[in-house]
Amino acid sequence: MLSEWLDLTLASDRSASLSAGTLRGARYRFLGCGILELTPEHRRSAARSAVISAGIHGNETAPIELIGELLASLEAGRLTLGAPLLIILGNIPAIRAQSRFIKTNLNRLFQRDMELAGEEPERARELMQAVDTFFSRHEGARLHLDLHTAIRDSRYPRFAVVPFTESQPVSRWGELAGAGMQAVLLQHRHSWTFSHYSRHYHDAEAYTLELGKVNPFGENDLEALADMRTWLAALAEGQAPKTRDPASVAYFQVAHELMRKSADFKLNFADDVANFTVFPTGTRLAEDAEAGPCIVEEAPLAVVFPNANVELGARAALLVREIAPRLITISTADRPVADPIAAANSSR
Ligand SMILES: O=C(O)CCC(=O)N[C@@H](CCC(=O)O)C(=O)O
Ligand SMILES: [Zn+2]
């Protein structure tokens, strides 16, 4: 039943006929189209209440395949659930159409007072509600992993985007390193993405994780995501995950957001320029009929997620600078601890 859920959801609205079921040591409920809650009979002491979302952009398929593997392992009894999980498939019409979105980018709509009408705004409201209910039903440390893949190649194919927060984030860099992340990118302001929603409104540890490059179903290299698979399994079982030296990861901070202001907008570099490519001071990165040129000032900047085809008024690139690991607060959570819940709470 559980293993059918992904296929049924993506193939048709027949998944609406599914309601609930049991696994060894756990039960699950389908809360809506593409929304699945799994609850363990016994929550392990290291467990976090975890939201794992994928398909917020419909053409980013590797994370959906990873979730399929995780559910199959739980159903076959290869894994035993030890933590509450909320599994979300984001933009189902876009996944079926294999496109980033249908009308507008779902990952810019996660704001409680958002009043837009339409399919994607409605879906954002449904998902915000599902997250609110999940975190209110389950106690303990909160985690949200929003899984994506990137349009371009990247100097660091697997990286975490850390949503902006005014408070000290609970961030486990060693755990991200253990999950195969090669870089961490700190946001500099509120961005109203799905991971930001959980960080901002629920004080959850939350990341947007970029897991390689966009590919159609069946063409993803899941072996490159083996550490990520292991991390998801540990989270589902409520086990303390594997960590690696946080110094093995490169750290970046967003310095500016390049916004597209006019229809007459272009980037002055090729489509195959990879994420995190550095441009020296003086480079004219972009031209915009309204905003004028975007020129690198003061110090070199690297580009992440450059995309000239975004909607008017939307972000066309993040402009970032590498920072020394010593400028990052390495939280106590990075040390191996017997009780990560206590560690997470003590560093809040
Ligand atoms: O490759 C790209 O240009 C986009 C990949 C992607 O979907 N990235 C997320 C990042 C979200 C964040 O800033 O936290 C997005 O653009 O929504
Ligand atoms: Zn995405």
Nearest CA to ligand 1 atom 15: 107
Asked if residue 46 and residue 28 are part of one domain, the reply reads: yes
> How sure is the predictor about 288, in pLDDT bands with cuts at 50, 70 and 90?
very high
Asked if residue 63 and residue 162 are part of one domain, the reply reads: yes
Range of the domain at 341: 2-249+327-346
Residue with tokens 């398909």: 55
In the chain, what is the straight-line distance between the N-terminal and C-terminal CA atoms, in Å? 39
Asked if residue 162 and residue 228 are part of one domain, the reply reads: yes
Residue 5 pLDDT exceeds 60 = yes
User: Which stretch of 4-8, 275-279, 304-308 has the lowest confidence by average pLDDT?
Assistant: 4-8
> How sure is the predictor about 172, in pLDDT bands with cuts at 50, 70 and 90?
confident
Return the ligand number nearest the Cα of 305: 1
Query: Position 27: which residue type?
Result: R
- Write the DSSP symbol of residue 122: H
- Write the DSSP symbol of residue 193: -
Asked if residue 169 and residue 98 are part of one domain, the reply reads: yes
> How sure is the predictor about 17, in pLDDT bands with cuts at 50, 70 and 90?
low
Structure tokens at 233: 């399994």
What is the chain's mean pLDDT, rounded? 91
Asked if residue 312 and residue 210 are part of one domain, the reply reads: no
Burial class (CB in 10 A: 0-12, 13-18, 19+), 305: buried
- 37 catalytic? Reply is no
At 280, which CATH number? Answer: 2.40.50.630
pLDDT 10s digits, 251-260: 999 999 999 9
Neighbours of ion ligand 2 (CB under 5 A): 57, 60, 148
Q: How far is the CA of 319 from the centre of ligand 1 (A)?
A: 13
Check 205, 210, 223, 290 and give the catalytic one: 210
Total structural domains in the chain?
2
Task: Give me the sheet containing 284-288, strands edge to edge.
Answer: 265-267, 284-288, 294-295
Specify the 3-state DSSP secondary structure of 329.
Answer: coil
| Ligand 1 closest atom vs CA 306 | 3
Asked if residue 306 and residue 157 are part of one domain, the reply reads: no
CA–CA distance, 337 with 348 (Å, rounded to integer): 16
Asked if residue 197 and residue 302 are part of one domain, the reply reads: no
Nearest CA to ligand 1 atom 17: 107
Asked if residue 93 and residue 66 are part of one domain, the reply reads: yes
Cross-strand partners of 309: none
Asked if residue 84 and residue 54 are part of one domain, the reply reads: yes
At 118, which CATH number? Answer: 3.40.630.10
Q: How far is the CA of 312 from the centre of ligand 2 (A)?
A: 18
pLDDT of 326 reads 62
pLDDT 10s digits, 95-106: 999 999 999 999
**For the chain, what percent of residues have pLDDT higher than 90?**
84
| Ligand 1 closest atom vs CA 60 | 7
pLDDT 10s digits, 28-71: 999 999 999 999 999 999 999 999 999 999 999 999 999 999 99
Q: How far is the CA of 12 from the centre of ligand 1 (A)?
A: 27
Is-contact 267 295, C-beta < 8 A? no
Nearest CA to ligand 1 atom 6: 150
Asked if residue 148 and residue 190 are part of one domain, the reply reads: yes
Mean pLDDT calculated for residue range 229-250: 96
| Ligand 1 closest atom vs CA 163 | 14
Q: How far is the CA of 149 from the centre of ligand 2 (A)?
A: 6
Return the ligand number nearest the Cα of 194: 1
Return the ligand number nearest the Cα of 58: 2
Is-contact 55 64, C-beta < 8 A? yes
Q: How far is the CA of 68 from the centre of ligand 1 (A)?
A: 22
Q: How far is the CA of 145 from the centre of ligand 1 (A)?
A: 13
> How sure is the predictor about 208, in pLDDT bands with cuts at 50, 70 and 90?
very high
> How sure is the predictor about 171, in pLDDT bands with cuts at 50, 70 and 90?
confident
Q: List ligand 1's pocket residues with C-beta within 6 A.
A: 57, 107, 148, 150-152, 161, 191, 193, 195, 208, 305, 307
Residue with tokens 């001071």: 281
From 104, 107, 273, the mutation candidate for ligand 1 (largest count of ligand atoms within 8 A of CB) is 107
> How sure is the predictor about 170, in pLDDT bands with cuts at 50, 70 and 90?
low
CA–CA distance, 169 with 178 (Å, rounded to integer): 19
> How sure is the predictor about 338, in pLDDT bands with cuts at 50, 70 and 90?
very low
pLDDT 10s digits, 213-228: 999 999 999 999 999 9
Mean pLDDT calculated for residue range 124-132: 98
| Ligand 1 closest atom vs CA 196 | 14
Asked if residue 93 and residue 47 are part of one domain, the reply reads: yes
Beta strands per DSSP E along 238-347: 250-259, 265-267, 277-279, 284-288, 294-295, 301-304, 315-323
- Of residues 17 and 330, more confidence is placed in 17
Q: Among positive and negative, which fits the CA dihedral 89, 94, 100, 104?
A: negative
Mean pLDDT calculated for residue range 180-194: 95
Residue 14 pLDDT exceeds 50 = yes
pLDDT of 329 reads 57
User: Which stretch of 81-90, 120-129, 307-316, 338-347 has the lowest confidence by average pLDDT?
Assistant: 338-347
- Binding site, by residue number, is 57, 60, 148
- Write the DSSP symbol of residue 324: -
> How sure is the predictor about 324, in pLDDT bands with cuts at 50, 70 and 90?
confident
Residue 209 pLDDT exceeds 80 = yes
Asked if residue 332 and residue 276 are part of one domain, the reply reads: no
- Of residues 7 and 138, more confidence is placed in 138
Mean pLDDT calculated for residue range 185-210: 95
Cα-based torsion angle of the residue sequence 162, 43, 134, 347 in order, rounded to the nearest 10 degrees: -40
From 109, 152, 193, the mutation candidate for ligand 1 (largest count of ligand atoms within 8 A of CB) is 193
- Binding site for Zn(2+), by residue number, is 57, 60, 148
